[in-house]
Amino acid sequence: MLERIAPRRTRIGLVAGGLGAYWPQFPGLLATLQQSARYVTERFEKQEATVIDAGFVSDATESVVAAEKLRIADCDLVVIFLTTYLTSSMVLPIAQRVDAPILLIDLQPTEAMDHATTGTGEWLAYCGQCPLPEVANVFRRSGIDFRSVSGYLHDENAWSRIDAWVGAASARAALRHSRLGLMGHLYPGMLDISTDMTLLSSQFGAHVEVLEFDDLRVRVQAVTDAQISERLDMARSVFHIDDSVVDDDFAWGAKVSVGLDRLVDDFGLDAMAYYHRGLDGELHERLGAGMILGASLLTARGVPLAGEYDIRTAVAMLIADRLGAGGSFTELQALNFRDGVVEMGHDGPAHLQISSAEPLLRGLGVYHGKRGNGISVEFDVQPGPVTTFAIGQNRDGSFTFITSEGTVVPGPLLQIGNTTSRVDFGRDPGEWTDEWSATGTGHHWALCTGHRAKDIKAAAELLGISYTHV
């Protein structure tokens, strides 16, 4: 029911090639390979991405022309389709000139040749893997990172591996072009949350916009009664409203939500972290207490917000969202040794798109550990496979991606306005907690639907970030 905010589309560059010396020797070979290249282009065009097709190259001169087209297009991933043998001199200029990760693919026409009817010309359509070691050798000697996928045109296993690299490129692109908001200040004493803003730009390529709560205040003050009424109707269509919700708190949360939308739009934000303590019910305290409804609605629409000023978790939520995995703000809540599960969640914000059922709005007379009171979101993540995804920071300041895979299982849940889920990691909950905590994770992370460790590992590789799996 919530319309997603359209992010920048990932740009996939494509170029196919083969050795031009073959064309006069084997009539029909080029047409066969070009047909394969058209199929590959069609498969990529079905992705939620912009495809820049640089065509089919037959020699190093044509490769330079294709490389320039892809360079200008500012691609997020460049895919080089090795349709048959070609020389490494035909692909090196492409990899050198484009500022993007390189994926080499060789997809032969079918699962296997029909040897009885295969001559040299027909065989050459099957030997796209032949130049792969040559190209890999030259790329390594040239200091060029690459990855490869070998298979056949209609090989869904190969395409699932290709799709994983496209997803990783989308995550990388989301960070390289992202505008991250930081509003307020660090929750006092949370040293694990403290993050150097310069490192967010230098390691991820993101822009960090420093915001004041006054930037939100002036936008909330400009919200009209009609806008509040409209937002209340939206909330009623999305949430089950518990009897504990106080009308004035509900209306205030709706007003803050409209102001938050305007803030995100005015500053062009892709993700944000926030916290403000406030004092004795003054306006800034009320703003901080009224964030959960609007932050959850924005997160569900593709602009994740993390509380307690945790920008690293906001980044993890952004990556998870772009991978189609949701990503809800989460921390440890309790261990259930009888059922063998780890209970985790938070008092908001939440990613509503991954709720197991209609999310609930509950009224809270007090927020534990925070100033103020108001409404909070309560739900359980969809049952089935999940991944915990944290972004930690090493002693040298470098970031690290951290994952673990488990399963959300049914059972009793807290009913205190928290997004509680019971996660079974297939082992003793205490042992899992010890190993997870030793990775360097902060005390928050994104809870994602599906087993996404391979996807997140691929994103880490493209970003040059270290990776740890529990």
Q: What is the pTM of this model?
A: 0.90
pLDDT, residue 369, reads 63
> What digits encode the pLDDT tens for the residues 299-351?
999 999 999 999 999 999 999 999 999 999 999 999 999 999 999 988 878 88
- The pairing of beta strand 399-408 with beta strand 421-424: antiparallel
pLDDT tier, 412 (very low <50, low <70, confident <90, very high otherwise): confident
> What digits encode the pLDDT tens for the residues 93-122?
999 999 899 999 999 999 998 998 999 999
For the 178-469 domain, the top CATH level (class) is alpha beta
3-class DSSP state for residue 117?
helix
Q: Which two tokens stand for residue 173?
A: 């692109």
pLDDT, residue 420, reads 85
> What digits encode the pLDDT tens for the residues 141-167?
999 999 999 999 999 999 999 999 999
> What digits encode the pLDDT tens for the residues 184-241?
999 999 999 999 999 999 999 999 999 999 999 999 999 999 999 999 999 999 999 9
Q: Which CATH architecture has domain 10-174?
A: 3-Layer(aba) Sandwich (3.40)
- Residues 6 or more apart in contact with residue 208 via CB below 8 angstroms: 180, 181, 182, 197, 200, 201, 311
Which single residue is written with the structure tokens 């799996």?
469
DSSP string, 215-257: HHHHHHHT--HHHHHHHHHHHHHHSEE-TT--HHHHHHHHHHH
> What digits encode the pLDDT tens for the residues 343-400?
998 887 888 888 888 888 888 766 766 666 788 888 888 899 999 999 999 999 999 9
Provide, rounded to the nearest whole percent, the portion of the chain with pLDDT above 70: 98
> What digits encode the pLDDT tens for the residues 277-294?
888 888 998 998 899 999
Q: Which two tokens stand for residue 216?
A: 């939100």
φ, ψ of residue 341 in degrees (nearest 5) = -130, 155
Q: Which two tokens stand for residue 220?
A: 């909330």
DSSP string, 158-207: HHHHHHHHHHHHHHHHHHHT-EEEEEE-PPTT-TTT---HHHHHHHH--E
Rounded CA gap, 206 and 201, in Å? 5
Rounded CA gap, 103 and 209, in Å? 33
- Average pLDDT of the chain is 93
Cα dist from 60 to 17, 94, 101, whole Å? 10, 10, 20
- Residues 6 or more apart in contact with residue 362 via CB below 8 angstroms: 242, 244, 245, 375, 376, 377, 378, 415, 416, 417
- The pairing of beta strand 360-364 with beta strand 240-241: parallel
Q: Which two tokens stand for residue 19?
A: 């050795």
Which is nearest to 436 in space by CA: 395, 398, 397, 387?
Answer: 387
Sheet with 240-241, side-by-side order of all strands: 240-241, 360-364, 374-378
Q: Where are the domains of the chain?
A: 10-174, 178-469
pLDDT, residue 458, reads 94
Q: Which two tokens stand for residue 280?
A: 């004795």
3-class DSSP state for residue 63?
helix
> What digits encode the pLDDT tens for the residues 250-268?
999 999 999 999 999 999 9
